């Protein structure tokens, strides 16, 4: 899969918590400027980590239940899941290499 999965409150458990692969979840909203900066990076990571990582995007405005469950207070927030558990997170816009460094640590560890 080379495109991020559209995550919702309804499919989050199946796509993220039950995933065999580590998962990067981008919590975003259409009105969020920094989210528009991070979005293309998340799209690139989805293509570059095919088979190693699942990447999904969750629109927080439309999926409040999941956003509340994970304490999302600011967006963009990117949560890194492994075996159904949050193992790391990033809040706000950052350069691509920051995401890659975290991903590499998660995938190796």
- Given a cut of 80, whether residue 109 has pLDDT beyond it is no
pLDDT band at residue 82 under the 50/70/90 scheme: very high
Active site residue 18: no
How many angstroms separate the Cα of 1 from the Cα of each of 5, 47, 54, 55, 89? 9, 7, 8, 9, 23
Structure pTM? 0.95
Tokens of 6: 């559209």
Q: Which residues of 48-59 are buried (b: 16+ CB within 10 A; e: fewer)?
A: ebeeebbbbbbb
Summarize pLDDT for 21-78 with one digit per residue, the tens.
999 999 999 999 999 999 999 999 999 999 999 999 999 999 999 999 999 999 999 9
pLDDT at 2: 81
pLDDT at 108: 87
What are the extents of the domains in the chain?
5-108
Which of 7, 16, 32, 53 is the catalytic position? 32
Question: Do 57 and 26 touch, CB atoms closer than 8 A?
Answer: yes
Tokens of 66: 């999941």
Domain 5-108, CATH: 3.40.30.10
Active site residue 48: no
Which of 5, 7, 23, 35 is the catalytic position? 35
What whole-number distance in Å separates Cα of residue 75 and Cα of residue 39? 12
């Amino acid at each position: 899969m080379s495109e991020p999965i559209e995550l919702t409150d309804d499919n989050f458990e199946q796509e993220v918590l039950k995933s065999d692969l580590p998962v990067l979840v981008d919590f975003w909203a259409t009105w969020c400027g920094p989210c528009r900066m991070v979005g293309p990076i998340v799209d690139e990571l989805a293509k570059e980590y095919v088979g190693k990582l699942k990447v999904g995007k969750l629109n927080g405005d439309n999926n409040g239940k999941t956003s509340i469950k994970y304490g999302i207070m600011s967006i963009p927030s990117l949560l890194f899941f492994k075996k159904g558990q949050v193992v790391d997170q990033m809040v706000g816009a950052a350069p691509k290499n920051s995401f890659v460094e975290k991903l590499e640590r998660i995938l190796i560890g």
